[in-house]
Amino acid sequence: MPDRAAILQVGPLGEEIDQELQAQYDVLRLWAEPAGLDAVAKRGAGIGAVVTSVRHGCNASLIECLPDLRAICSWGVGYETIDIAAAHARGIVVSNTPDVLDDCVADLAWGLLIAAARRTAVGDRYVKTGQWRSIGAFPLSTRVSSKRLGILGLGRIGEAIARRGAGFDMDVRYHNRRERAGLPYRYEPSLTELARWADFLVVACEGGPATRHLVSAEVIDAMGPKGIIVNIARGTVIDQAAMVRALVEGRLGGAGLDVLESEPAVPPELMAMDQVALMPHVGSATVETRRAMGRLVLDNLASFVAGRGLLTPIRA
């Protein structure tokens, strides 16, 4: 039997994938190495691939410890924690797990939009704590159907969110780095103008320094006291302090947030707000999608090791 390819796994990816990696490769498990990076520095030669995730990342110092590194296979669609520039500078290819999670993340965006507008989580507590019986009718909420939906970032996930908008009879417009041809949604070159127009603004762009605080105090003010912001992307895209202030002062109507700026820390003000629906960063977290993401990491790695290249390389 030929030697198994040597790989470095930065963090655990769930029992099923971890076991499959162990069965097929000679795996150095970084998170289980008490010596950490020193162990990699000692045993790094011969390691041709890193398996990681957007949560565990792969920075320039780790890349430097691996003289024979040729590929990084990451779990998750985001890659702001991976030093792509350092990897590409050395000709190291990097893959992520696009496409397979678009539907689940888009579903959750709509779940949060409806939760913030129709107060479904609040209503659930209302019923379960007996207030339906003791107080009676639940306060009126905000209509969702046939409203104006603005999307920041019309990539694959943004498009899946936009498509669902048709089912809610919504007028959909978007803001992107650049306009995309052949789509039935109007491009709005100014994010502030998109926010002024929209009833709901869904944040679906990538994270990292390029998009930090794109949703600024000015954009938040443009949403206005009836506007609702939904974020299924990265907490860093929104100026969170400005958003919390606007919510406290009633200058923003509500928010549905799967992600926060310093997860899992939650600004205490949000905890008490019925107009804010929160989820613990679970956009892709369904059994089916997480399995598909794990499979895509394994398939990328297998394809690379077999000399056929990565299946879903990041071209940034």
- Contact residues for ligand 8YV, defined by CB under 6 A: 54-55, 76-78, 101, 281, 283-285
Question: Which helix H or strand E contains 298, and what residues bound it?
Answer: helix 287-305
Q: How far apart, in whole angstroms, are the C-alpha atoms of residue 24 and residue 80?
A: 28
- What phi-psi label fits residue 12: left (phi over 0), alpha (psi between -120 and 50 degrees) or beta? beta
Looking at beta carbons only, is 101 or 170 nearer to ligand 8YV? 101
| Phi/psi of residue 295, nearest 5 degrees | -60, -40
SS3 state of residue 52: strand
Looking at beta carbons only, is 24 or 286 nearer to ligand 8YV? 286
Looking at beta carbons only, is 101 or 106 nearer to ligand 8YV? 101
Choosing from 56, 119, 175, 234, the catalytic residue is 234
Task: Check if 4 is active-site.
Answer: no
Question: Which helix H or strand E contains 29, and what residues bound it?
Answer: strand 26-29
Q: Tell the smallest beta-carbon distance from residue 25 to ligand 8YV (Å).
A: 23
Q: Tell the smallest beta-carbon distance from residue 106 to ligand 8YV (Å).
A: 13
Residue whose C-alpha is closest to residue 237's, from 155, 153, 154, 172: 153
| Phi/psi of residue 268, nearest 5 degrees | -55, -30
Task: Check if 175 is active-site.
Answer: no
Q: Tell the smallest beta-carbon distance from residue 108 to ligand 8YV (Å).
A: 10
SS3 state of residue 151: strand
Q: Tell the smallest beta-carbon distance from residue 221 to ligand 8YV (Å).
A: 28
Choosing from 16, 179, 218, 263, the catalytic residue is 263
Q: Tell the smallest beta-carbon distance from residue 284 to ligand 8YV (Å).
A: 3
What are residue 26's DSSP bridge partners? Answer: 6
End-to-end CA distance of the chain: 37
Residue whose C-alpha is closest to residue 288's, from 55, 103, 54, 96: 103
Looking at beta carbons only, is 101 or 116 nearer to ligand 8YV? 101
Q: How far apart, in whole angstroms, are the C-alpha atoms of residue 197 and residue 192?
A: 9
Looking at beta carbons only, is 148 or 156 nearer to ligand 8YV? 156
Task: Check if 234 is active-site.
Answer: yes
Q: How far apart, in whole angstroms, are the C-alpha atoms of residue 66 and residue 41?
A: 7
| Active centre residues (catalytic) | 234, 263, 281
